[in-house]
C-alpha cells in the first residue's frame, strides 16, 4: 500500500528531510528486472540467500516442543521449537534420500523426534541424526555429518527470521533501531486472528515499490485516502534495509477499517500520538509491517515466478481482544482486503506494461523517493557477491 511524501501539510521540514525525500532524478528499473525469467533465478541465488527473511511468528510454534513447516523463497523449511524454548530452522529435507520431512502444518514432533515417512530415518529436535533403521554400518563420524541442515535463525520482535546463506554473520544495526521504534506495539505478545492469501500476477518488486509510496492513493484507494490523506506522511527511514514511516489519521478516524472505528482497544503499549498514526515499514526484501493502534498487519511476499507472487497478509491482535466474546475483526479485514486487491490490480497492470518490448523506465517524483531508495538497495543486494 501507501506512503512517503513531500509532506505538504507538515510545515517545518529540515534540509535533510527534503534531501531524503527526493527521488533525485532516479528512474524505475529496466524491463528485464520484471520480464526476464532468468532474473528470479539470480535473485534466488543472491539476495534471497543473503537477506534475513520472515518465516513465521512465534504464535505459530505455541508448544514445546513443536514443528512448523513453511516455504520461504521457494525452499522447504522446518521451524522447530526446542525444549529450551528457542526456535531453530532446518531445511525440511531428509538427509537420506531427500524426502520432504514434514508437510502437515499441524504436524507434531512425536516423542522428541522428527521421523521421515519414507524409510524412517529420525532426527532429534536439535537436528542430530537419531535413528537409521537397517543401516548398522554408519560410523559415528558419518552420523555426525548427517544431521538436518540448519538455517541461521533468530527471533525479532516476535517474528522468526531466517537466512539461508552462511557468509556474513553481521546483522544490520537497523534491526535494533527499528525494534526500538516498534517495541510499543508488543508484537511478540500478539496472536494472529486471520491470514489472507493472494496469488498476484506481478513480479514481487512491483509489489514492494507499490507499497513504498502513497502517490497512487488518491486514484487507487479513495477510501484509504480519506482515512489517511496521502500528504499527511513522513519518512522515518529513507535508505537501506528498512524504509518508511508514519501517516496521520484524519480527524474522527480511529483506525484503518471499513467503519473507521477501531476493532479493539489501543494496544497496551501505545498512548497519545501513537494512537493517532499508522506506521508503515518495509524490511527488505519481502516483509511489510503496518502498525495500527489496535492491530498489526504483516504482508509477506513469496515470489513463485518472475511474474507471479504469492502474498500472505496476516492480522495480529492482542490476545485479550481475540478472546473477548464480542470480538469482531471483520471491519479491519474487509478494509485491507479491498485495499490489497486495489494494489494487486495496479501491480498486474504494471507487469503487463513493463513486459512490453517498448517499456522505458520513467522518472520518479519526490513522492516516490522511497521507491527509488528500494531500487538502490535492491541493485546493491542483487549484485553483491553471495
Whether the CB-CB separation of 202 and 351 falls below 8 Å is answered with yes
Judged by CB, which is closer to its own copies: 205, or 262? 205
CB of 60 to its own copies, least distance (A): 20
DSSP three-state, residue 220: helix
- C-alpha cell at position 364: 520518479
Judged by CB, which is closer to its own copies: 39, or 175? 39
60 closest CA partner among 140, 136, 206, 158: 158
CB of 233 to its own copies, least distance (A): 13
CB of 377 to its own copies, least distance (A): 18
Q: Is the Cα torsion angle 179, 185, 189, 192 positive or negative in sign?
A: negative
CB of 89 to its own copies, least distance (A): 11
CB of 274 to its own copies, least distance (A): 28
Residues 68, 60: Cα–Cα separation, whole Å: 7
Judged by CB, which is closer to its own copies: 221, or 318? 221
DSSP three-state, residue 134: coil
CB of 300 to its own copies, least distance (A): 19
188 closest CA partner among 56, 90, 281: 56
Half-sphere CA count of 135, side-chain side, radius 13 A: 16
State the CB neighbour count (10 A cutoff) for residue 184. 15
CB of 270 to its own copies, least distance (A): 31
Judged by CB, which is closer to its own copies: 94, or 270? 94
Whether the CB-CB separation of 311 and 301 falls below 8 Å is answered with yes
Judged by CB, which is closer to its own copies: 332, or 347? 347
Judged by CB, which is closer to its own copies: 257, or 286? 286
Q: What are phi and psi of 13, to 5 degrees?
A: -145, 120
Judged by CB, which is closer to its own copies: 71, or 334? 71
- Residues in touch with its own copies (CB under 8 A): 6, 28, 44-45, 75-76, 91-101, 103, 117-120, 132-135, 137-138, 142, 146, 149, 164, 209, 215-216, 218-220, 346, 349-350, 352-354, 356-363, 365-367
Judged by CB, which is closer to its own copies: 11, or 358? 358
Give the DSSP letter string of 260-306. SS-SSPPPTT--GGGGGEEEEEEETTTEEEEE-SS-EEEEEEEEEET
Write a three-state SS string for 23-38.
Answer: CCCCECCCCHHHHCHH
CB of 375 to its own copies, least distance (A): 12
Judged by CB, which is closer to its own copies: 103, or 328? 103
CB of 350 to its own copies, least distance (A): 5
Q: At what angle do helices 204-211 and 369-383 cross, to 10 degrees?
A: 140
287 closest CA partner among 220, 202, 385, 374: 374
Amino acid at each position: 500500500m501507501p506512503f512517503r511524501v513531500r509532506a505538504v501539510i507538515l510545515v517545518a521540514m529540515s534540509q535533510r528531510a527534503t534531501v531524503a525525500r527526493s527521488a533525485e532524478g532516479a528512474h524505475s528499473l529496466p524491463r528485464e528486472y520484471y520480464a526476464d525469467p532468468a532474473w528470479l533465478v539470480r535473485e534466488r541465488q543472491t539476495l534471497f540467500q543473503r537477506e534475513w527473511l520472515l518465516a513465521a511468528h512465534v504464535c505459530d510454534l505455541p508448544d514445546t516442543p513443536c514443528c512448523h513447516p513453511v516455504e520461504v523463497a521457494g525452499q522447504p523449511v522446518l521451524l522447530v521449537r526446542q525444549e529450551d524454548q528457542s526456535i531453530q530452522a532446518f531445511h525440511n529435507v531428509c538427509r537420506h534420500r531427500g524426502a520432504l520431512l514434514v508437510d502437515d502444518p499441524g504436524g507434531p514432533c512425536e516423542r522428541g523426534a522428527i521421523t521421515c515417512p519414507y524409510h524412517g530415518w529420525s532426527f532429534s529436535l536439535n537436528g542430530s541424526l537419531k535413528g537409521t533403521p537397517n543401516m548398522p554400518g554408519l560410523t559415528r563420524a558419518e552420523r555426525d555429518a548427517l544431521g538436518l541442515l540448519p538455517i541461521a535463525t533468530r527471533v525479532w520482535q516476535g517474528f522468526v527470521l531466517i537466512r539461508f546463506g552462511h557468509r556474513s554473520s553481521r546483522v544490520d544495526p537497523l534491526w535494533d533501531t527499528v525494534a526500538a521504534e516498534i517495541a510499543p506495539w508488543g508484537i511478540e505478545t500478539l496472536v494472529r486472528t486471520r491470514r489472507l492469501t493472494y496469488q498476484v500476477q506481478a513480479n514481487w518488486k512491483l509489489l514492494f515499490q507499490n507499497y513504498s509510496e502513497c502517490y497512487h492513493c488518491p486514484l487507487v484507494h479513495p477510501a484509504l485516502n480519506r482515512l489517511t490523506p496521502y500528504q499527511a506522511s513522513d519518512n522515518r527511514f529513507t535508505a537501506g534495509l528498512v524504509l518508511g514511516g508514519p501517516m496521520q489519521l484524519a480527524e474522527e478516524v480511529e483506525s484503518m477499517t471499513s467503519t473507521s472505528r477501531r476493532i479493539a482497544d489501543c494496544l497496551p503499549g501505545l498512548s497519545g500520538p501513537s494512537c493517532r498514526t499508522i506506521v508503515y515499514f518495509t524490511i527488505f526484501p519481502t516483509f511489510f509491517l503496518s502498525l495500527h493502534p489496535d492491530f498489526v498487519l504483516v504482508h509477506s511476499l513469496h515470489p513463485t515466478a518472475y511474474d507471479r507472487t504469492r502474498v500472505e497478509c496476516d492480522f495480529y491482535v492482542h490476545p485479550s481482544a481475540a478472546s473477548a466474546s464480542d470480538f469482531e475483526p471483520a471491519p479491519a479485514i474487509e478494509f485491507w482486503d479491498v485495499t490489497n486487491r486495489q494494489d494487486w490490480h495496479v501491480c498486474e497492470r504494471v507487469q503487463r506494461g513493463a513486459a512490453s518490448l517498448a517499456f522505458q523506465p520513467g522518472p520518479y517524483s519526490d513522492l516516490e523517493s522511497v521507491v527509488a531508495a528500494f531500487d538502490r538497495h535492491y541493485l546493491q543486494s542483487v549484485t553483491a557477491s553471495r
